[in-house]
């Protein structure tokens, strides 16, 4: 199937199955079960998984374009399959052959869905500070600890779980491992976390109390590579978040363009006032620049070369563009934009998450700077 046909299929899905229901689902913060079922039929849960495992095997550039289009309509949907696909990417890149054969076909079919379980109550950006532990006990590991802000935490069934397997290791990352943890005895959902925006997708606290996981679920089969494995998946995650930023920025621009041509003041549409024209021009320029940065990062990812700097640049710029465009859209709409009936109000609440998630934008700047120095020695 060509990229154009894939994107046309996504557009039809959004127009028919998503757009008419977004306002009600957003307002009630309801997990969109029927939409998720349709996403499963479309193969979105296997979008980037290789065809040999039942996935669509889409290049990252095509995946990024899909994420952008979905985010224009309802950003929350992108989180339901993004975290899931990062988990799948880690297994496909780093897992044992047995893990790939066992898990990837079920991931691709959407039969087994989930995501990443990295963040804890006392650590987010500094993942080496996690406290969740895994102790070897025969053919199992016993896990204790708590994870928080975990996407798909309630409705997901399997998570790539980052733990400490060696508390004395120095540097700390050498004592970290990543497991495939399916829900079962000792693995419970603590609570659903309420959010300013990003409604519909479940964000939850996960609690592990003497949770036993088979030793063969250690991703890669060797302890001590958990942080490295987790970070390898975040390249895809940051490209996804950048694509969401492009989608939010574009949606804010589209809504502002439409409204500016309909709303009149002083006898003419506000689109004819220079103050509004300046805003629209800046919004359009930010959106296009963000899209190009995201495409470049996705193309590098597809070539299999290191792209943490490029993914960081795309994530940084696109998410800031989303935030700025959402605020400008609110200003273009005036009082109407502050109403909960206006789509720009949702964009205004969703955009701030993007500058925080998948590594804060402050962290992205550090990653970019370090890579610049490393790639350009004096």
Instruction: For the beta carbon of residue 224, count every other beta carbon within 10 angstroms.
Output: 15
Closest CA to 231 of 134, 144, 307, 142: 307
Determine contact, residues 228/168, Cβ cutoff 8 Å.
no
Proportion of the chain in helix, strand, coil states, percent, rounded to 5: 60, 15, 25
- The DSSP call for residue 112 is S
Q: Specify the 3-state DSSP secondary structure of 224.
A: coil
User: Which positions are catalytic?
Assistant: 358
Contacts of 256 (CB under 8 A, 6+ apart): 279, 280, 283, 328, 329, 332, 333, 344
Radius of gyration for the chain, computed over Cα atoms and rounded to the nearest angstrom? 21
Closest CA to 25 of 241, 202, 242: 202
Whole-angstrom distance, CA of residue 143 vs CA of residue 149: 19
Q: Which residues, listed in sequence order, are joined to residue 136 by a DSSP beta bridge?
A: 141
């Amino acid at each position: 199937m060509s990229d154009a046909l894939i994107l046309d299929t996504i557009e039809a899905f959004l127009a028919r199955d998503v757009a008419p229901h977004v306002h009600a689902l957003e307002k009630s913060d309801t997990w969109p079960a029927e939409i998720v079922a349709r996403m499963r039929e479309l193969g979105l849960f296997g979008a980037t998984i290789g065809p040999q495992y039942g996935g669509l095997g889409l290049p990252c550039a095509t995946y990024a374009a899909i994420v952008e289009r979905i985010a224009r309509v309802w950003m929350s949907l992108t989180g339901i399959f993004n975290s899931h696909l990062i988990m799948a990417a880690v297994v496909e890149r780093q897992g044992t052959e047995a893990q790939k054969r066992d898990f990837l076909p079920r991931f691709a079919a959407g039969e087994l869905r989930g995501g990443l379980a990295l963040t804890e109550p006392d650590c987010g950006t500094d993942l080496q500070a996690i406290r969740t532990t895994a102790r070897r006990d025969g053919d199992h590991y016993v896990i204790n600890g708590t994870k928080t802000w975990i996407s798909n935490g309630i409705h997901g069934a399997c998570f790539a779980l980052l733990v400490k397997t060696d508390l004395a290791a120095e540097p700390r990352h050498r004592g970290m491992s990543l497991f495939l943890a399916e829900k079962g005895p000792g693995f419970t959902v603590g609570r659903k976390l309420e959010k300013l925006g990003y409604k519909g997708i479940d964000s939850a606290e996960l609690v592990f109390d003497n949770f036993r996981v088979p030793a063969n679920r250690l991703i890669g089969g060797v302890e001590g590579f958990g942080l490295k494995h987790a970070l390898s998946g975040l390249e895809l995650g940051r490209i996804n978040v950048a694509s969401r930023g492009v989608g939010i920025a574009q949606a804010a621009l589209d809504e502002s363009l439409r409204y500016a041509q309909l709303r009149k003041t002083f006898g003419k549409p506000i689109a004819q006032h220079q103050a509004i024209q300046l805003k629209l021009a800046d919004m359009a320029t930010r959106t296009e620049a963000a899209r190009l940065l995201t495409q470049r990062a996705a193309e590098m990812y597809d070539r299999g070369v290191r792209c943490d700097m490029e993914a960081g640049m795309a994530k940084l710029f696109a998410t800031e563009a989303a935030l700025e465009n959402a605020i400008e859209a609110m200003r273009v709409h005036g009082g109407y934009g502050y109403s909960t009936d206006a789509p720009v109000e949702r964009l205004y609440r969703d955009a701030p998450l993007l500058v925080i998630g998948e590594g804060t934008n402050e962290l992205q700047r550090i990653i970019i700077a370090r890579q610049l120095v490393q790639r350009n020695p004096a």
